[in-house]
A and B are shown apart, each in its own frame.
Chain A
Amino acid sequence: MTLAAAAPGGTVIPNFGHADSCVRHNRFFCWHWFTSHWNDTFAPALVQHIVLTVIAVGIGFVISLALALAAYRLHWLERPIGWAAGWLYVIPSLALFQILVPITGLTTTTAEIALVSYTLLALFRNVLVGLREVPGEVREAAAAMGMGRLQTLLRVELPLAVPTIVAGLRIATVTVVSLATVAAFVIDKGLGPLILRAIEEGQFKTEFVAAGGLAVALALSADALLVGAGWLLTPWARARARASR
């Protein structure tokens, strides 16, 4: 690389080279740029995005499970919890992130609190529905076998509720992956900042197409992973399917 002539004051400006024609013409997707920046730009962002998602869904699941179990026992709880979760769900994510900033600052905590809020409705509803769908006869059989309430819950009701719970996890996970991009407005983590920066810096298509594409791919893979996990956890459904063939 030839060095440009030294400017007054002794500053040397190296030749930074020029982008290839794909980038210069801002075509929809420049594969070469994408691969050469995978390590420094996309891979770290993708990992951060995954971490954000896993934490949000994990915490959301624990909270929703607790709330659903409470509502399962005390029926009157379902309405207020459902309403509260519903209201949180309705608030535009961009607004919720900003409303949390004065309380928890421009930190990952703020982003996580908002993301967890968006998982509550789906997870609470689905765990509750899943538990309620357990046929009465099965519960009676468990009681007849001498199982206490806790045992019935752990060994009969929850396992049978797994398909519906997994459906709820799928909705929650895909939702969080999508909303975590909006977290870019409060923290510099995940795929969102790549999209925002690409828009601000002359709408560099490759960057936000790639970042957006990665988010979609992540959501769909997480969905598939959960379907697989659900399948693993319900051997009786597989046996039934085999028997019915």
Chain B
Amino acid sequence: MHALAKRFATGVLVLAVVPGLLAACGSSSKKSSGTATRTGPGSSKPAVTLGTKNFTEEFVLGQLYAQALQARGYKVDLKNNIGSTEITDKALTSGQIEAYPEYTGTILSELAHQNTRPPTAAETFQAAKTFEKTRGFTLTQMTPFIDTDAMATKPPFATQHGLRTVADLKKLQGAILGAPATFQTRAQGVPGLKRVYGITSSNLTFKPLAIGLQYQALDGGQVQVADVFTTDGQLSRGGYTVLKDPKNLFGFQNVAMVVSAKVLQHEGPAFTETIDAVSRRLNNQAMQRMNAAVDLDKQAPAAVAQQFLKANHLI
């Protein structure tokens, strides 16, 4: 019977040790890649938790800022892929994360619940900053690039119907518009198209499409018009006509880092400078190309971000 107890113990040990070893190996390798202890203004500062939302551009932005900060000695704990705006903002206000890159227009519409769209990017930014201040957060300098909704079609279709701006969509009869389900009810979606440009369901019928499937649907002819984002990687490869939005239905969506004001104080001015230095370099073309590298060429966001930062002497 003692032999049995020994066998039992051996069995349990085997079952516990093997996965345990694997887990230990895994976690140690993770640690070694996370913190690159370099000297710089950040070496003496407390660690910062940076979060990102759940899509490619946010992953790239998270890597850009995290790597740039780490190169200057800051300790950054990157919590990737937290979720939608609602979830990530909750993580921020509940203290689970201390900063994340957010879109100025989204702050106004989804977080501040303001439906008025300021006429310029700068005003959108100011309004967002004022709102965040009331909650104890602040915004860093906004990026040059704007990632907002846009209407896209295939070039032959655009030429055929003379489509250059969103207003031209009124010329269509019975064309199909593909967009995520939210677009049908959003203020800037179908109701907005009607309100601002007078486009009705006789011009465009709505077809719900999951995000990521719009380009496929356009190529395959399942939809004639699709809701895309102005920094989508696919746009950098050509083959799509993006319609202009002269009446500014879709608003301005520059990116700025939402940071807790206290954290900003603790981390010092060099922290903000580092983030701003990265933000300044991010124009539309750069974001499109980086998104393309991740989405179309399936490269890892960390690698793409590193290449960009190196080329611009930010790390």
Instruction: Contact check, A11 vs B312: say whether CB atoms are below 8 A apart.
Output: yes
B222 at interface (Cβ–Cβ under 8 A)?
no
Which residues on B are within 8 Å of A, measured CB to CB? 1, 3-4, 7-8, 10-11, 14-16, 18-20, 22-23, 25-27, 29-30, 55-56, 79-83, 87, 91, 144, 210-213, 215-216, 280-283, 285-286, 289-290, 292-300, 302-304, 307-308, 310-312
CB nearest neighbor in A for B52: A188
Q: List 16 A-B contacts (CB under 8 A).
A: A9-B144, A9-B283, A13-B308, A17-B299, A24-B297, A33-B298, A41-B300, A51-B23, A53-B19, A54-B20, A106-B91, A206-B298, A232-B7, A232-B10, A232-B14, A235-B4
Name the distance in Å between A70's Cβ and chain B's nearest Cβ.
21
Name the distance in Å between B56's Cβ and chain A's nearest Cβ.
6
A197 contacts across to B, CB distance below 8 A: 81
A44 at interface (Cβ–Cβ under 8 A)?
yes
A18 contacts across to B, CB distance below 8 A: 297
Name the distance in Å between B88's Cβ and chain A's nearest Cβ.
10
CB nearest neighbor in A for B294: A201
Which residues on A are within 8 Å of B, measured CB to CB? 3-4, 7-14, 16-19, 23-24, 33, 37, 40-41, 43-44, 46-48, 50-51, 53-54, 106, 155, 159, 188, 193, 197, 199-204, 206-207, 225-226, 229-230, 232-233, 235
Selected from A14, A33, A206, the residue in CB contact (under 8 A) with B311 is: A14
B290 contacts across to A, CB distance below 8 A: 16
Instruction: Contact check, B15 vs A229: say whether CB atoms are below 8 A apart.
Output: yes
Instruction: Contact check, B18 vs A225: say whether CB atoms are below 8 A apart.
Output: yes
Residue of A13, A43, A159, A225 with most chain B CB atoms under a 10 A cut-off: A13
A229 contacts across to B, CB distance below 8 A: 11, 14-15
A204 contacts across to B, CB distance below 8 A: 298
Selected from B1, B81, B212, the residue in CB contact (under 8 A) with A155 is: B1
A155 contacts across to B, CB distance below 8 A: 1, 4
Instruction: Contact check, B304 vs A16: say whether CB atoms are below 8 A apart.
Output: yes
Name the distance in Å between B6's Cβ and chain A's nearest Cβ.
11
With A14-B307, A16-B297, A201-B295 in contact, do A188 and B19 touch (Cβ < 8 Å)?
no
B211 contacts across to A, CB distance below 8 A: 200
Q: Please list the 8 inter-chain residue pairs (A to B) with the smallest Cβ-Cβ separation, ordered nearest first.
A: A47-B26, A19-B297, A16-B293, A14-B311, A188-B81, A12-B311, A233-B11, A54-B19
A3 contacts across to B, CB distance below 8 A: 311
Q: Report the Cα distance A146→B295, complex, angstroms.
A: 71
Name the distance in Å between A186's Cβ and chain B's nearest Cβ.
9
Instruction: Contact check, B282 vs A40: say whether CB atoms are below 8 A apart.
Output: no
Q: Report the Cα distance A39→B276, complex, angstroms.
A: 32
